[in-house]
């Protein structure tokens, strides 16, 4: 079962499973990268100058493929950065919190806190601007998204931050909020780390989106930022040059050395996504996988999920055994059945199945079959 090419299903929340054919292609190209005509260039991607024609080809193609896949409009910049989602928690306010200035010269940002990640974003932003919680789902244990009508938005906020998919709590906005319709003039910032490329994005509602690559786009080390052009050029003077979006954009993400191998791997994923039929095909597949898993949980007497059905994540499915004494047996049986990394995040407990783009329906079917069998034998 666990030979090189017969790998178990991996439900890690990230870094996460990648499509096997992508890994196989990367392995084949590792020592001597072939160009589009199949001509070997004599070096591997990790050994190329980021300014050489070979890497520029890889970079340009990756950017164009991503723009096409996510239907990113021409007036948005795509930036390939480093530092992950947590660095963006600082980089975003450093760049755009002063779009509008308060009387004291600082800027204000509103946060809708729906789980661990938006809570962290709020805490970090407070170092650089007036950060304000507009709404929070904490009181109900982060199992719902506060109704948009209850959000206390600041009239002078530069932006409203949401985490559009909370990886740990399993809470996802099925639709992005329409701030304009809510009477707000603030920009919407989304942390889409854990569901980027799993469904479409309504860019008319978004000013800036960011996400680490290590769940749905490729290996760790690459951070994607998609930002509307008119939000560039407002950075605080203390913003490090390498994190100033305007500087990064002007230099086509090559002000400093970009994470070249991660960009190459993400580029292979983008082409894999196109071969799968693009984002709408992924969205349909992801919806089907999530429905099967939630149905199995809801129909059982042994498992439960606490999140309200209108905001259950299609990517990260936390679930609990009613009898927690069976957790270890569940996990070791799962491992024996070829189902890896199902243990829940330590702050939440229980189990979590992350079912990103690279998880086939067959993997979710194997998991649900195991869950039912475990219930039959232990229930």
Catalytic residues: 117, 191, 215
Give whichever of 193 and 244 is closer to ligand PMP, judged by the CB atom: 193
CB 79 within 8 A of CB 248: yes
Write out the two tokens for 175. Answer: 């639709």
Give whichever of 19 and 85 is closer to ligand PMP, judged by the CB atom: 85
Parallel, antiparallel, or unpaired for β 351-354 and 316-321?
A: antiparallel
Distance from C-alpha of 294 to C-alpha of 66, rounded to nearest angstrom: 30
CB 172 within 8 A of CB 315: yes
Distances (CA, A) of 54 to 58, 63, 254, 326: 7, 15, 15, 53
Q: How far apart are CB 167 and ligand PMP at their closest, in Å? A: 3
Q: How far apart are CB 192 and ligand PMP at their closest, in Å? A: 8
CB 319 within 8 A of CB 303: yes
Give whichever of 84 and 363 is closer to ligand PMP, judged by the CB atom: 84
Distance from C-alpha of 376 to C-alpha of 326, rounded to nearest angstrom: 13
At 303 the three-state DSSP class reads strand
Give whichever of 167 and 296 is closer to ligand PMP, judged by the CB atom: 167
Give whichever of 165 and 246 is closer to ligand PMP, judged by the CB atom: 165
Q: How far apart are CB 98 and ligand PMP at their closest, in Å? A: 23
Q: How far apart are CB 349 and ligand PMP at their closest, in Å? A: 17
Q: How far apart are CB 60 and ligand PMP at their closest, in Å? A: 25
Q: Which residues bind ligand PMP (CB under 6 A)?
A: 14, 84-86, 117, 163, 167, 191, 193-194, 212
Distances (CA, A) of 378 to 132, 334, 344, 364, 371: 47, 13, 20, 21, 10
CB 8 within 8 A of CB 350: no
CA 298-280-25 angle, 5° bins: 100
At 190 the three-state DSSP class reads strand
Where does residue 136 rank: exposed (0-12), middle (13-18), buried (19+ CB within 10 A)? middle
Over the Cα atoms of the chain, what is R_g?
Answer: 21
At 92 the three-state DSSP class reads helix
Distance from C-alpha of 188 to C-alpha of 203, rounded to nearest angstrom: 10
Give whichever of 63 and 124 is closer to ligand PMP, judged by the CB atom: 124
Q: How far apart are CB 84 and ligand PMP at their closest, in Å? A: 2
User: What 8-state DSSP symbol labels residue 326?
Assistant: G
Tokens 């194997």, residue located: 366
CB 335 within 8 A of CB 313: no
Q: How far apart are CB 191 and ligand PMP at their closest, in Å? A: 5
Give whichever of 215 and 289 is closer to ligand PMP, judged by the CB atom: 215
């Amino acid at each position: 079962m666990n030979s090189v090419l017969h790998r178990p299903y991996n439900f890690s929340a990230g870094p996460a499973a990648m499509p096997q054919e992508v890994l196989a292609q990367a392995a084949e190209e590792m020592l001597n990268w072939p160009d589009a005509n199949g001509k070997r260039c004599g070096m591997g991607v990790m050994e190329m100058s980021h300014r050489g024609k070979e890497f520029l080809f890889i970079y340009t193609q990756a950017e164009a493929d991503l723009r096409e896949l996510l239907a990113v409009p021409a007036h948005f910049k795509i930036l390939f950065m480093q530092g992950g989602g947590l660095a963006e928690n600082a980089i975003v306010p450093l760049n755009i919190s002063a779009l509008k200035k308060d009387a004291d010269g600082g800027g204000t940002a509103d946060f809708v806190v729906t789980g661990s990640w938006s809570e962290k974003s709020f805490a970090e932003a407070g170092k650089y601007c007036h950060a304000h919680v507009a709404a929070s789902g904490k009181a109900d244990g982060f199992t719902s998204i506060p109704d948009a009508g209850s959000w206390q938005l600041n009239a002078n906020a530069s932006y409203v931050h949401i985490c559009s998919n909370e990886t740990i709590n399993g809470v996802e906005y099925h639709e992005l909020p329409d701030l304009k319709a809510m009477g707000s003039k603030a920009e919407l910032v989304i942390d889409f780390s854990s569901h980027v490329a799993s469904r479409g994005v309504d860019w008319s509602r978004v000013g800036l989106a960011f996400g680490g690559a290590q769940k749905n786009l490729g290996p760790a080390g690459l951070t994607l930022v998609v930002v509307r052009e008119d939000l560039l050029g407002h950075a605080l003077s203390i913003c490090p040059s390498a994190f100033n979006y305007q500087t990064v954009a002007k230099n086509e993400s090559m002000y400093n050395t970009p994470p070249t191998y991660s960009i190459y791997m993400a580029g292979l994923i983008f082409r894999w996504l196109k071969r799968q039929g693009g984002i709408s095909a992924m969205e349909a597949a992801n919806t089907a996988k999530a429905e099967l898993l939630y149905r199995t949980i809801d129909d059982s007497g042994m498992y439960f999920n606490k999140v309200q059905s209108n905001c259950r994540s299609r990517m990260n499915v936390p679930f609990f055994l009613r009898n927690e004494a069976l957790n270890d047996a569940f996990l070791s049986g799962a491992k024996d059945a070829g189902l890896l990394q199902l243990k829940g995040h330590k702050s939440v407990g229980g189990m979590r199945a992350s079912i990103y783009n690279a998880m086939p329906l067959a993997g979710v079917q194997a998991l649900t079959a195991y869950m039912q069998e475990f219930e039959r034998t232990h229930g």
